[in-house]
């Protein structure tokens, strides 16, 4: 049942990650709130969580050592993990026709290191912890509509989110014998600080609801996929885009 679980949320200092951490804490879970460099915002997010027993975990998941260290710190503080939410991501603009080859390489390297390899390494360490402690755990990846719709100015972001979806589906099959579920959400535009300058009337009109999502709406979908009732949704990629892109 929900409540009194140990939850690690990566990239939780603000935006979608903070909303996800808030949702789990409100349900009685203890949250390890991960951040890379936004210490002040992470502390603010931690202070806003309901309940007690929550912790901050700092680390750079773009390296294998950093990813392993984040999971180890969360486990040390909270005990064996019940839930992992892979939310940390970078999104660097690099339109091919307006980007130098050097900047193109840098954007791809930075994006792949965090969005794909960071997710893969954090997931490996968290899943092994679940297996070692015989925890029937839940892993939820925050992917993107861009994996399907395309990201012309951010191709590495779209590509790594598509890879994240595929990774989740592969692991859903391999981890099912251990009682561990893996699923993903694929949001469209969400009203967060990161994309505030990109949200226009045209963007809002992509959805027939005439708006973009609130972070709390993505958090609600993540919380469902991490619930005991969602076992049979393991392997799913849940579109959470307000009917702005249908497939």
pLDDT at residue 2, rounded to an integer: 65
35 catalytically annotated: no
Work out the burial of residue 43: count CB atoms within 10 Å of its CB; fewer than 13 is exposed, 13-18 middle, 19 or more buried.
middle
Mean pLDDT of the region 142-151? 97
Domain ranges of the chain: 6-240
Q: How far apart are alpha carbons 63 and 43 in whole angstroms?
A: 23
pLDDT above 80 for 27:
yes
CA 113 from centroid of its chain's CA atoms:
15
Encode pLDDT of 71-108 as tens digits: 999 999 999 999 999 999 999 999 999 999 999 999 99
From the list 19, 8, 62, 65, the residue with the least C-alpha distance to 37 is 62
The single residue listed with the structure tokens 């005991």 is 228
Q: How far apart are alpha carbons 191 and 174 in whole angstroms?
A: 35
CATH number of 6-240: 3.40.50.720
CB 238 within 8 A of CB 168: no
CB 220 within 8 A of CB 183: no
Encode pLDDT of 197-216 as tens digits: 788 999 999 999 999 999 99
Q: Which of 35, 124, 157, 224 is catalytic?
A: 157
């Amino acid at each position: 049942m929900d409540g009194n679980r140990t939850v690690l949320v990566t990239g939780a200092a603000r935006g979608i990650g903070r909303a996800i951490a808030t949702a789990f804490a409100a349900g009685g879970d203890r949250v390890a709130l991960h951040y890379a460099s936004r210490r002040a915002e992470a502390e603010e997010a931690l202070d806003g969580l309901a309940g007690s027993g929550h912790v901050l975990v700092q680390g750079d998941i773009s390296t294998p050592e950093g990813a392993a260290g984040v999971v180890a710190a969360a486990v040390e503080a909270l005990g064996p993990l019940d839930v992992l939410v892979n939310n940390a991501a970078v999104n660097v603009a690099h339109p091919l026709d307006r980007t130098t080859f050097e900047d193109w390489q840098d954007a791809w390297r930075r994006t792949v290191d965090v969005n794909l390899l960071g997710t893969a390494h954090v997931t490996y360490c968290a899943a092994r912890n679940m297996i070692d402690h015989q925890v029937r755990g839940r892993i939820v990846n925050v992917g993107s509509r861009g994996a399907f719709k395309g990201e012309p100015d951010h191709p590495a972001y779209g590509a790594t989110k598509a890879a994240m979806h595929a990774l989740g589906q592969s692991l859903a099959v391999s981890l099912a014998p251990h009682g561990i579920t893996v699923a993903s959400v694929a949001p469209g535009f969400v009203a967060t600080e990161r994309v505030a300058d990109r949200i226009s009337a045209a963007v809002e009109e992509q959805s027939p609801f005439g708006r973009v999502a609130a972070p709390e709406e993505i958090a609600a979908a993540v919380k469902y996929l991490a619930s005991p009732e969602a076992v049979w949704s393991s392997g799913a990629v849940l579109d959470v885009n307000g009917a702005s892109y249908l497939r």
